[in-house]
Amino acid sequence: MRSPINRRDFLLRSGGGFGGLAMSQVLGSNNSIPHHTPKAKRVIQLFMNGGVSQMDTFDPKPKLKELNGQTFDPGAGELVESVTNSPGFKVLASPFEFKQHGQSGRWVSSVFPHMAKIVDDLTFLTSMTSKTNVHGLGSYMQNTGFTLPGFPCMGAWISYGLGNISKDLPEFVVMPDPKGLPYNNLGNFTAGFLPAKHQGTVINVKSNSPINYLFPPQEAKQITPQSESDGLELLKSLNQNYAQRFPSDSQLEARIKSYELAARMQLSAPHIFDLSGETEVTKKLYGLEGDKTADFARRCIIGRRMLESGVRFVQIWSGAGGPTNNWDNHANISTELPKMTQQVDQPIAALVRDLKSRGMLEDTLVIWTTEFGRMPFSQGKAGRDHNGGSFLTWLAGAGIKPGIAHGQSDEWAWKAQKEIWCYDLHATILHLLGIDHEKLSVRHNGINRRLTDVHGHVINEILA
Amino acid sequence: MLRLIASFIFCLSFTSAEETHWSLRPLEQPAIPKSNHTSPVDAFIWTQLESAGLSFSALAKKRVWIRRVYFNLIGLPPSPAEIHAYLNNTQPNAEELVVDKLLVSPRHGERWARHWMDVVRYAETHGHDEDAIRENAWPYRDWLIRALNDDMPYSNFVRSQVAGDMIIEDVPDATAATGFLACGPWDSSSQMGIQDGTTDKKIAQYLDRDDMLSATMSTFTSTTVHCARCHDHKFDPISLQDYYSLQAVFAGVDKADRLFDNDQKISRKRASLLAEQQQFANKINDPDVTKEISIWATRLERSLPVWVPLILKKVNSSTGTPHTVLPDNSVLFKGTPPERDTYNISGITDLKKLTAVQIEVLTDPSLPMNGPGRAPNGNLHLSEIHVHIDDQPVPIIRASSDFNQADWEIGKAFDGNEQTAWGIHPQEGQSHQSVFIFNEPISIFKETSIKITLKQLHGGSHLIGRLRIGLTDGKDPDGELSIPTKIANIIKIPRDGQSSEQKKALALHYLKTKNSEELATLPEPGKVFGVTSNFTALGNFKPAIKPRVVHILERGDIHSPQEVATPGTLSCITGLPSRFQIPKEHNEGARRLALANWLSDPNNILTWRSIVNRVWHYHFGRGIVSTPNDFGKMGTAPTHPKLLDWLAVEFRNRGGSLKWLHKTIVLSTTYRQSTNDRPECQAIDSGNKLLWRMNRQRLDAESIHDTVLSLSGMLDLTMGGPSARQFTSKKGIHITPTLNYLGFNPDDPANLRRSVYRFVFRTVPDPLMEALDCPNASQLAPRRESSVTALQALAMLNNRFLVRQSEHIANKLKNETDPTGELFLRAYGRPGTASEIMAVTNYKNAHGLANTCRVILNSSEFLYIQ
């Protein structure tokens, strides 16, 4: 049995990786991709897991200083709820100092000294909104557009829509925090009901075999380089004989190609993870030798190398799931938040600069994001609870108008005044990649499913 | 919100003026077309082929058919001996004999249960962020295998899964089947972590019911009712009201462990005892009961021990904690509580012999939460007790207490292990008592010294705040502990002196005790993760006392509640009620039973069409309707509508026998065709929609795993029980454990079980199975993809289990006279050709048999059902 998707996959693969344009021409489909000329060729997303506090980083609220310690009262009888907090709700001013930076005069708090220096390259969405105040659901929403499990994530949709640039590497790779998987574990990188090939390939940077099954198991002593190359030859001839018996079955031909691609991946992948060729200047820029920055710096450099080698979508996570050691700062903002910012601030700023100096920022989109924000009032004495009402994302690079901010949160950064949804962010990202988010759909269980559900508007205001 | 409203307006509601959609037309048995074919299936298929200018392909070779039918019916290949026997059977019914044999094989239920588990998104963890393990999901899987092997009538198969707990008269073990409703994801962090009454909590409850109802309707009726959550279905006649009526059906239940009995008698007995619990209040004045109580109370009073307080001589705390002795001989500890402490309490008694010592832990206003412990919540942990009489240790044989914290039973206070202890949570704020019984009575003299040592080493000030030590010479020292102090005190009052309140309390206690004693005589029930309205609250996750109120939500928005929804279902099935008549005072199960009966009604046209199409789908790789979960306007139309209806009616009229359906299909000429190319047919029907040949299918992930094991002879055919965890796990950062699939010992016995028994972990799937398109159980998977990727090739080449199995297969073959030839027979079901044998033998001679087996396991002919 062959579904249209398989046919499409085969065509995608059988050309040894010819691009999305060619593919859609071959298919002659009415949603031929790209739908318009793309500005971005590739994407790197930095996901801060746990819910970054907006009013302690990029969204200063002087009002909080004024009301510090008073019971939070938004007025007009508005219901104040908090998911894990007991009632109390005392306004908590940011313990960090904010200053204006760059030509754009963007306010940044003292927790991000390095990012403060690149604000003119960044575009802020200052009033993102989520449907939920729960980590798992929030992470799903930001990654897949739905609060339920089982939907394809953005990387999978992009892989599905555009196919691969590189012949030798997967389209979509994910580098989770080596401390552990994020909320929802692998659920955030899933292809959902799209074919399995579109799911994120998880890279474990600390492992000898950073990609699952890249090489034969070490204990199998009978497998030698010679047995391997002769074996693949034999396999090819067996598979060719079988495929020739059923010439109309494209999948049999595709299987032969898939083993050739696998062999190429074995050759090219290890090169990506070998940072010995990087200059000292680069290593220093990212903080590769720094105690706190080393891990995130390594993953950012590997991410850049992947982009250079033709990976379409790279996602890097900061923070594992769970109650602490991530951006979920319930107990004490002034101590918990800096622990996280110190790990990522320098590497992220370096990544943007590095991409820029290599001319890659022209067609690479960088996205910094999180699943929701935090409350303007305290949890316990000095922490903050989850807040889907308002939070912050920034973008940089391909097709983005740099140095501006879009959106508006209320005077406490409690709720968005101008709501920007993940649907809008996703629609914008797809747009920059040449995809009309309303046209990229797949039928599943009776519904034409899209990354943006039935919502989403391209945020034209931030487009260059 | 503006855009939501816009999308609402954009959505068109169903217009009844249109012609009735095919799936909603009455189900009537079509006449079988005239043809030369005896099988009605072939007659229908042939007629459409004929009119399109097509014809059946030649029958597949016998070797090809037997391999195909083995995989389709049992998920395993035929052995060379089985192939040989069939090839040499010249009887006209040789095929039928093969099929009959396969349909009675227990492997058949295993194979088809796995298909069903795809459809119903079966996994054994919650999914979502806090992806915890469900220890009791598997009884549902075992029920499925049993039901399919027993060829349970389909109507009962349906009813059991939606309301099994309500039909144990018909299907004794059906409660386990309610695992169906619960086997989808469950949002533990919202359900347990979020406070009741908050918006996020309500959303979680609506979404959980959405999971149950959409699984039910998609699975059994191939309807996309979930499309009507925000507005009337855009394309099908399903209204917002219908949708919320279905929400109301499930408004009384949550996903949790529930008890069940496989034995019908026991099941009935337990049900009647549980029902009795609701009737205690009506029985307290029953003369028979009064009589029973009087006999019981008298007997009890005689055996109650008399406790004499220890005459205190010395009270000592190892940390020097101060204390006061109160007038009632109790000791109250004061000052700042230390983390841990050991009390040594010595004294004497006037009793002449001792049989037991009693430790009463008493409340006191000076203690946190009134005590009796000194932990902030009033709890305490008694790690170990030692009793010395004249410095000789006294062995304790048994202990009882009036209350035990879960997992902190009284036995842990004298088990010799200081890491374990007795506790009283959550019954803080009340006095408790425990009794430690000596293994033999000990004689006492006037100055005999009695020393009690109470070690409290748990930490966190889990210390006794106030205690009293009692001694007895009674024969039945813990008799009193079976009854609360309050009741014991009433018994001690002469019958005539008891107030009516006291008599009532006594009667209630008696009835409860008798009921729980009778329940205790029943065998331990099984546990299944199903749906229930009766479970122990966990954090903020609490059972609904009555079905929760469900509102129709405009645009699916929790902030726009409209009128209250009443239990019901789709309105578009002619002749079946869409709103259920349910008595006012009802158990929530009545709602689910009404839906179960509606689904399994002989007149439910969708149900019968849905199942025959599903079965067809798995045999041919594509259903007569190629969207098995969507028979609506946006689904595909049936390629053979008359055949679909003929099968549906015939299947229903034959008692819903799935085995009849399988047999009818696999013995048909349609099924027995070859898969060979025919360019002249391809030109007319390139997608083979009309079935002018058989479709080739790749083995699914589970069949690959199981087949490899059958080739090495290592397949463990043990059936049922807790799932085989084919990974190592350790404690994770939070709730979800950290799993390791790649580091798991490939020869571990868990790897040798059939894949249907594999533990499926929702958010951390097995990378090999995933690469082979095994769905991750987050969504219903009515069909599987069959993808081809480089990562799949790498997984097939380098997965440790597969590489190790290639060595085992080599070991098994090496003593054969012709290992290469044998490898072809077993892996492909046919002998190799001369040139194949030569190429493979050359490779084997250079690189060994294990490497050769590895190549064959990666070859297309092995991986495809032809």
DSSP string spanning B373-442? Answer: BSSTTS--EE-EEEEEETTEEPPEEEEEES--BTTB-GGGGSSS-TT--EE-TT-TTS-EEEEEEEEEEE
Q: Assign B109 a pLDDT band (cuts: 50, 70, 90).
A: very high
> Chain A contact for B257, CB < 8 A?
no
> Chain A contact for B641, CB < 8 A?
no
- Residues above pLDDT 90, as percent of chain A: 69
What CATH number is associated with residue A361? 3.40.720.10
pLDDT at B18 (0 to 100) = 54
> Chain A contact for B839, CB < 8 A?
yes
**What is the tally of structural domains in chain B?**
2
Which of A142, A153, A186, A188 should one mutate to test binding to chain B, selecting the residue with the greatest count of B CBs within 10 A?
Answer: A186
Sign of CA dihedral A125, A128, A134, A139: negative
Position B709 in a domain: yes
Which of A8, A132, A137, A419 should one mutate to test binding to chain B, selecting the residue with the greatest count of B CBs within 10 A?
Answer: A137
* pLDDT above 80: residue A29: no
* pLDDT above 60: residue A172: yes
* pLDDT above 60: residue B863: yes
**Phi, psi at B797, each rounded to 5°:** -75, -40
Domain boundary among B475, B504, B537: B475
Contact between B860 and A226 using a beta-carbon 8 Å cutoff:
no
Decide: pTM greater than 0.90. Answer: no
Domain region containing A455 = 40-76+96-215+273-462
Closest partner CB to B733 (pick from A241, A322, A443): A322
Q: B454 has which bridge partners?
A: B343, B385
What CATH number is associated with residue B445? 2.60.120
- Which pair of structure tokens corresponds to residue B838? 């030569």
Query: Nearest-CA neighbor of B180 among B105, B120, B239?
Result: B120
* pLDDT above 90: residue B184: yes
Which of B789, B833, B840 should one mutate to test binding to chain A, selecting the residue with the greatest count of A CBs within 10 A?
Answer: B789
Contact between B187 and A197 using a beta-carbon 8 Å cutoff:
no
> Chain A contact for B730, CB < 8 A?
no
Helix (H) or strand (E) holding A356: helix A333-357
> Chain A contact for B224, CB < 8 A?
yes
On whether the CB atoms of residues B284 and B504 are closer than 8 A, the answer is yes
User: End-to-end alpha-carbon separation of chain B, Å?
Assistant: 54
Residues of B in contact with A220 (CB under 8 A): 803-804, 807
Place of tokens 């026997």: B85
> Chain B contact for A133, CB < 8 A?
yes
pLDDT tens for residues A289-334?
A: 999 999 999 999 999 999 999 999 999 999 988 777 899 998 899 9
Place of tokens 């899933």: A190
Place of tokens 């001839």: A237
Q: Which of residues 654-693 of B touch A (CB under 8 A)?
A: 675-677, 679, 682, 687
Position A125 in a domain: yes
- Which pair of structure tokens corresponds to residue A361? 């920022």
Helices assigned H by DSSP within B754-789: 767-771
On whether the CB atoms of residues B306 and B474 are closer than 8 A, the answer is yes
**Phi, psi at B37, each rounded to 5°:** -95, 135
For residues B824 and A203, what is the distance between their CA atoms, to the nearest angstrom?
Answer: 37
Q: Nearest C-alpha of chain A: how many angstroms from B103?
A: 25
Position B422 in a domain: yes
Sign of CA dihedral B368, B370, B374, B379: negative
Average pLDDT over chain B, rounded to whole? 91
Q: How many CB atoms lie under 10 A from the CB of residue B139?
A: 23
Residues of B in contact with A186 (CB under 8 A): 763-765
Position A28 in a domain: no
Burial group, residue A87, by CB count within 10 angstroms (0-12, 13-18, 19+): exposed
For residues A299 and A286, what is the distance between their CA atoms, to the nearest angstrom?
Answer: 10
Domain boundary among B414, B442, B475: B475
On whether the CB atoms of residues A65 and A93 are closer than 8 A, the answer is yes
- Which pair of structure tokens corresponds to residue A230? 């002769």
Domain boundary among B433, B456, B475: B475
> Mean pLDDT over residues B602-622, rounded?
97
| B728-730 and B526-532 beta bridge pairing | unpaired
Q: Strand, helix or coil at A2?
A: coil
Position B755 in a domain: yes
On whether the CB atoms of residues B701 and B755 are closer than 8 A, the answer is yes
Count CA atoms within 13 Å of residue A25 on its CB side.
6
User: Which amino acid type is present at position B293?
Assistant: I
For residues B828 and B856, what is the distance between their CA atoms, to the nearest angstrom?
Answer: 9
What is the greatest pairwise CA distance in chain A? 79
pLDDT at A365 (0 to 100) = 98
Helices assigned H by DSSP within B685-764: 701-712
For residues B155 and B653, what is the distance between their CA atoms, to the nearest angstrom?
Answer: 11
- Which pair of structure tokens corresponds to residue A444? 């599943």
pLDDT tens for residues A216-252?
A: 999 999 999 999 999 999 999 999 999 999 998 888 9
pLDDT at B14 (0 to 100) = 37
For residues B87 and B91, what is the distance between their CA atoms, to the nearest angstrom?
Answer: 10
Average pLDDT over chain A, rounded to whole? 89
Count CA atoms within 13 Å of residue B531 on its CB side.
32
pLDDT tens for residues B193-216?
A: 888 888 889 989 999 999 999 999
CB < 8 Å & 24+ apart, contacts of B91-97: B95/B65, B95/B69, B95/B667, B95/B672, B96/B663, B96/B667
On whether the CB atoms of residues A6 and A18 are closer than 8 A, the answer is no
Q: Which of residues 616-635 of B touch A (CB under 8 A)?
A: 620-622, 627, 629-630, 632, 634-635
Q: Which of residues 765-804 of B touch A (CB under 8 A)?
A: 765, 767-768, 770-771, 773, 776, 778-782, 785-795, 797-800, 803-804
Q: What is the DSSP letter of B60?
A: P
Helix (H) or strand (E) holding B819: helix B819-828
Q: How many CB atoms lie under 10 A from the CB of residue A214?
A: 18
- Which pair of structure tokens corresponds to residue A438? 């309303």
User: Which amino acid type is present at position B460?
Assistant: G
pLDDT tens for residues B431-468?
A: 999 999 999 999 998 788 999 999 999 998 999 999 99
Query: Nearest-CA neighbor of B143 among B701, B527, B523, B534?
Result: B527
> Chain A contact for B861, CB < 8 A?
yes
**What is the tally of structural domains in chain A?**
1
> Chain A contact for B834, CB < 8 A?
no
For residues B121 and B123, what is the distance between their CA atoms, to the nearest angstrom?
Answer: 6
On whether the CB atoms of residues B364 and B378 are closer than 8 A, the answer is no
Query: Nearest-CA neighbor of B227 among B630, B606, B571, B600?
Result: B630
- Which pair of structure tokens corresponds to residue A166? 């590189």
Which of B205, B622, B794 should one mutate to test binding to chain A, selecting the residue with the greatest count of A CBs within 10 A?
Answer: B794
Domain region containing B798 = 697-865
Least confident of A7-16, B263-272, B296-305, B501-510: A7-16
Contact between B860 and A242 using a beta-carbon 8 Å cutoff:
yes
Closest partner CB to A136 (pick from B187, B840, B858): B187
On whether the CB atoms of residues A378 and A92 are closer than 8 A, the answer is yes
- Length of chain A (residues): 464
Q: Which of residues 91-120 of A touch B (CB under 8 A)?
A: none
For residues B728 and B22, what is the distance between their CA atoms, to the nearest angstrom?
Answer: 50
> Mean pLDDT over residues B398-403, rounded?
89
Position A233 in a domain: no
Position A198 in a domain: yes
> Chain B contact for A220, CB < 8 A?
yes
pLDDT tens for residues B623-648?
A: 999 999 999 888 889 999 999 999 99
Q: Which of residues 395-434 of A touch B (CB under 8 A)?
A: none
| A420-421 and A122-129 beta bridge pairing | parallel
Q: How does DSSP assign A142-169, residue by residue?
A: HHHSSSSTTPPPHHHHHHHHH--S-SSS
Contact between B787 and A216 using a beta-carbon 8 Å cutoff:
no
Q: How many CB atoms lie under 10 A from the CB of residue A207?
A: 13
For residues A153 and B496, what is the distance between their CA atoms, to the nearest angstrom?
Answer: 75
